[in-house]
Each structure stands twice: as structure tokens, then as C-alpha cells.
Structure 1
Amino acid sequence: MRSLLVAALGLALVSSPVAAEPAWPVAAPESQDVSAEGLAAMDTAVRAGTFQKITSVLIARHGRLVHEVYFDEAGRESRRNTRSVTKTVTAMLVGAAVARGDIASVDAPILPFVADHGPFDNPDPRKAAITVEDLLTMSSLLECDDDNSFSRGNEERMYLIEDWVKFALDLPIRGFPAWIPKPADQPYGRAFSYCTAGVTTLGAVVQAATGEPLQAFAREALFGPLGIEGEQWQTSPTGLAQGGGGLGLRSRDLLTLGQLLLNQGRWDGRQVLPEAFAKAMTAPHSTVDPERGDYGYLVWLPTYQVNGVAHPAWAMAGTGGNKVVIVPDLDTVVVVTTENYNVRNPHGLADALIAGHALAAMK
């Protein structure tokens, strides 16, 4: 979410008490087959402004922290506004709720969990068929597209409404003109449409299913076991923690979340998320477009070209080029936090830094 809009709307920030950060074993880059010289060149380029306003770069390889540099005065303890990286956290919370039996499966319809926000405008029986997996894959039939300023479901319109869940489910069913393939004609039988309101609603589904405020369940099921403390949630005018964006976490916290996916749900010897769900998160379930490739459960599935070699990756991504990139074949997690909110092609800048420097330093 945009920080200026958040300030204008006066959205609350809910913080958890500050404590120790996740324990990361630290290793020299060369001991993990990472070029120290290459990393030094990366830091020089960042400080020279080649990638605009980068605030931190962290790299873990083989489960060890080999690079951690902060390029702003805030430093290690700063809670970074993760923007839409938060969406992947919400997917993890769905996995935790499924593991507890609070949500039967990803095939569960969402409407029974959020019916108290109704009645809803534009009634349509297809709304009752929307499932948890539809929201996880950005492929519900709601007319919601953050990339289209004309969309009724555009994220910016949601912030003008008090009840964000009602906003989402008041939306009409989207249409498919001749130039847009219908879901049945697309890969995986789904039509991707980037929709923050849908993920906000998914957070409300988790909250209703678990019987706990979303932030309390996150602390119990995810952040506590990972050693993450001091998280800062943004909330809607009705008090719902925003599962769609704006969660404040330290850069090391982000690295831990990336490593959790790389380890298929395990952290420090404990299975925090079910292995099967972690694998499902990083498997393709819908296609964004030919350029950006496939999409998992609120996880992007890009491929990075490094010195002529293709490296399939999993990515948590937010506005400004904030990214947590997991590269399984290199056993690597890269965190890049930025403040590139008003520059051209911020995701391209972050990706150039990741591919051209961070991953290029791997031996």
C-alpha cells in the first residue's frame, strides 16, 4: 500500500512487542562459494545510485547469512514496509489454518466465512463458488484489477470504503470480451487478475476461520515459531489487519520467510508450515502473462538469467521493487528492500541488481 495514502486515511499500525530477531548463522561469502569481490562490486554500485534508493540487501546461501548491508540510516532494526510482500505472508497463514483444520482445504468456499459483511451488491451465484484457492491464485471472477485504473475493484478505490471485505464482495463478476481468453481457455483453467482486495478478504477468511484476530494468529502460528518480533500491521477502518500489504518487518525477518519457503516449511528443525502446502505455494497455478510467467499461491514464479543460465525462482514482491527472491537451484535467498516508489520500472531495477550482482556472485 502507498504510505501517503495510509497516512491520509489514518490507518492504524498494530505492533507486537520488540524482542530478539531470528537467529541466523553467519558465514564468510567464500566459504559458501560466493564471490566476496562480486558482492563488494554490488555494494559499490548501490551506493553510487545505480539502482536508485536501495535500503538493504541480504543474501543467504546454504542456510547461512553471507551478506547483510544497510544503505540507509535506519539500519538492521528498522521495520521495512513490505508492501505486497505481505500477500505471501497471508498465503502462509492460510496454510497454517488448513493444517489446524480451521479451513478444510483450499477448495473451501469463502462466502460462509465473510457472510456477516453482507448483504452484497451485484448478487450472483458464482460468488458463492469463489474458493480460498481462487484468492490465493489471483483468479477469482470478481471484477478486480489493480493494474487497470478503470477497474471497479482497483486497490485505490478500496481505501475510500470503510469495510474492505464488503468492497470486494460487492464487486460484479468480471466479463471476458473476445480479446481476453476465458478461464477455461487459459493455462491451469484460471484467468489471472492482480487484486489486493481479494487478498484482504482472504485475511478476513483466515481471521473468521481461526476465531482470532489475523495478527494474533500470525504471531501464534508463524512469527512466534520463526522468532520474528515487533511486526507492524496496517489495519482497515474497521480494524481488520491488512493481509494485502503494508506489513512492517525487518530485513532479516524477510530473509527468514524466504528461507522457510526454500526449506519447504521448516525452520530451525521445526515444521512451521505443512510441507505439502509450502510446495503448493511455489507450484504454478495460474499464468500472469508471457513476460512475467506463472503464479503460485501469492508467490511469483520468475526466471532469472545469469550469465546465460536460466534460474527458476520464487518471489515475494511489493511496490517499489521490494523483493524476497528464492532460487532453489542455487540454494539462495536474496532480500532487497527499497524506497523506489516514484521511479520508473522499480521492479526492473531490483531484478537487475539481483541477477546482475547477487546471483552473478554465486560460484
Structure 2
Amino acid sequence: MLRYLPLLLAFGSSVHAGELDGVTTAIEAGDFKQITSVVVAQHGKLLYEHYFDKDGADSLRNTRSVGKTVAGMLVGLAIERKLLRTDTPVLPYFPELRPLAHADPRKDKITVEDFLTMSSLLECDDDNQHSRGNEERMYLVEDWSRFVADLPIRGFPEWQPRPEQSPYGRAWSYCTAGVTLLGPLLEKVSGQRVPDFAAANLFKPLGIDKVKWQFQPKGSAMTGGGLQLRSVDLMKLGQLYLDGGRWNGQQVMPAEWVRRSIAPHANAREGMDYGYLWWLQPFTANGRTVQSYGMAGSGGNKVLVLPELDAVVVITTTNFQVRDAHGLSEKLLTKLIMPALMRP
């Protein structure tokens, strides 16, 4: 049951809400394993909100790498305040990390945008267990910033395209470590802890007052994932971008930053591009293909914005050990949620 409503949103009277009852039936039948919540909004109205665990609406959801996209929002706010630029080199802000292992002048040219687009030249790939930059190796050491700074430059054998040969001129690899360095960078340029900067500039304007951060061993907030928010508050973040950065009549995020964030900057995987820590992915339902931009975390956790349908969909799960968990969440989206949103 709904306990509270976000600002600007009220329950819709559309027939869609009733049609979404099939979501409840299928999830309760176990068709999608451990889905913990689903929230659906369309045309600024909350159509569906249901919780499938005992924790309910007030539970803080650990959606893992969904938090990366929030880090990108904070970078955008710092850029608006002229504390950073997308072409700002990152490592020169950390003289305490000198001398660097695997010293290379190209490291000092790695920019904020390189980390936002998962396309820095550092050898860092979470999808490759042998990668020196794999996030699991980082979690074993105390100083995550030094871990990033000490990574070697990535090699490009003949069978792999170099950045200049890649779509959008960037060779993409999924690198949590690079995003974790954005937290300490934000602290250096803002003079605030990341949770304080986020609370004042992003969460407070949206009425988000219940948040749980994870922290690096050295004390900085973990901007590579693990940020916990309520499901409806996750929906607010998607709605904020759907509305061009505006919330309750206030321009919270710069409209230009929203536009740049959801534009393609790198090709991530087949049929999927990548913005500034946003996944750009098409979904097909009832024979119609709709573009989306979204936040995603392991276990199939998703916050999806569907501009053509004027809709935001939040799916939280604990399917962390389930095979093809993202596929399960996407099946829920395309088989049950999108068809209801498409009906006139």
C-alpha cells in the first residue's frame, strides 16, 4: 500500500493502473524470483507502487551500481557551480598519490568525462576477472584512490579496436574504480563531504530525506555504488531527468547537463550505448521499440526513463545470485509494464 506520495505526483485514474495488477500476480507467483518493489509513473502520475518484501515503502533499497548515476548527477551540479569541467584532468588533484606506479604522462590527461563514460585509458574492466582494475581487487586494499592512480595504461591488441576506431571515439570498459575516484574529487573541489553536497543540492530539493551511503575505507563516500534510497525516491530521480532537470517548479539539475548526460558518448555493448553513467538501451514490447535511458545495478535493479511513453519505471530486486537477473527485470518491463503504458 502507498504510504506517501512524492511531490508533484498523485495516483493516476488511468485504466493503466488496473492493467498493472498483472505485475503483482506474476511477481507473487515467483515468475521473476526476488523482486522487492516496482514503482511506475506516467504523465507525472504515480500509477503503481507495490512492495514484495516485508520491508515496505520506507525501506532503503541497495540497488548497487544505480548509485553510479547519482554520482554523475553530483558531478553535473559541481560543473554548474564552476567547480569542475568535463575536460578537467583528475589525477593532478591528487598530489598526495605521487609517485604513481606505472608512471605515464597520459594518466595526467585522464578527464572527468573519461570516468563518466567508462572510457579512460586505465586498464580497468569489471567484466574481466583478470583485469588489474577489476573492482574486486580494489575492495581488498585500503586506499581506493591510490588503487586507481596506480593502474597501468590499457593495451589494445590487434583484435580490439583502439579508441579512435571505436564508436564515438571512445573504447568502453565497465570500470567501477574510476567512478569511485569521483567522490574524493568532488570533496576536493567543493570542500564538502559528498553526502552533505548531495543533501543540499540534490536530495533536499526533491524532498529526499532518508539516505544511506557506503564509505571507502579511507572515509570518502562510495560513489561507485551502494547508495541506498527508497523506491519512490529513486523514481523521483528518474522523473527529474524526464522533466529536463526540473522539480516542483525549480531547476534542480541544469537542463544542458541532463541533455548531455543522456546523449551517447560510448558504445557499451551490442545494441546499447552509454552516456554520463546512464545506460542508453532500446526495449521492444508489442512490436514497438522504445528508447530508454536508465540506471542499473547488479541483480537486475533498474530505474528506467522512457521518454516516448512519458514514464519512469523502478524495479528493485535481491536477485544478486540469479542467472541473467537483468534479463528477468527486462522481461517484466517488456511483457507486463510497457504494454500497459502503451495503451491509449
In which range does the TM-score fall when normalised by the shorter chain?
A: over 0.9
| Counterpart-to-counterpart distance in 2, 1:231 and 1:68 | 20
Superposed CA deviations along residues 22-52 of structure 1, whole A, max 9, x for unmatched, are 435222352xxx5234311111001101010
Match among 39, 42, 52 for residue 71 of structure 1: 52
Which aligned pairs between 1:2-41 and structure 2 lie closer than 5 A? 22-30=6-14, 35-41=16-22
Task: Measure how far apart 1:21 and its partner are.
Answer: 7.5
State the distance in 2 between where 1:221 and 1:119 align. 35
1:9 alignment partner in structure 2: none
In structure 2, the CA distance between the partners of 1:239 and 1:252, relative to structure 1 (3 Å rule), is: same
For the residue of structure 1 that corresponds to 2:182, the secondary structure is helix
For 1:79 and 1:305, the matched residues in 2 are separated by 30
Structure 1 residue 52 corresponds to structure 2 residue 36: no
- Spell out the pairing of 1:121-200 with structure 2 (5 A cutoff): 121-200=101-180
C-alpha displacement of 1:289: 2.1
Percentage of matched positions with identical amino acids: 52
Match of 1:215 in 2: 195
RMSD of aligned Cα (Å): 1.2
* 1:220-239 correspondence runs (5 A): 220-239=200-219
* Conserved? CA contact 1:29–1:67, under 8 Å: no
Which stretch of structure 1 is more off in the superposition, 319-328 or 210-219?
210-219
Any stretches of 5+ residues in structure 1 without a counterpart?
Answer: 1-19
Answer whether contact 1:61 1:331 (CA < 8 A) is retained: yes
CA distance in 2, matches of 1:37, 1:66: 9
Match of 1:242 in 2: 222
Counterpart of 2:56, as a letter, is: G
Distance in 2, matches of 1:249 and 1:298, equals: 18
DSSP 3-state at the match of 1:112: helix
- Deviation track 1:197-224 (CA, whole Å, cap 9, x = no partner) reads 0000112211111111111111111111
Runs of 4+ off more than 2 Å: 20-25, 34-38, 112-119
2:288 alignment counterpart: 309
| 5+ residue gaps, structure 2 | none
- 1:225-271 per-position Cα deviation (integer Å, ceiling 9, x unaligned): 11111210000111010000100100011000000111111111111
Q: Aligned pairs, how many?
A: 339
| Distance in 1 separating the partners of 2:327 and 2:98 | 40
The structure-2 alpha-carbon separation of the partners of 1:29 and 1:51, relative to structure 1 and needing over 3 Å to count, comes to farther
Residue pair 1:144, 1:194 contacting (<8 A) in 2 also: yes
Q: Does 1:347 align with 2:326?
A: yes
- CA distance in 2 between counterparts of 1:161 and 1:174 reads 21
- SS of residue paired to 1:36: helix
- What's the TM-score, normalizing by structure 2? 0.96
The 5-angstrom pairing of residues 326-341 of structure 1 reads: 326-341=305-320
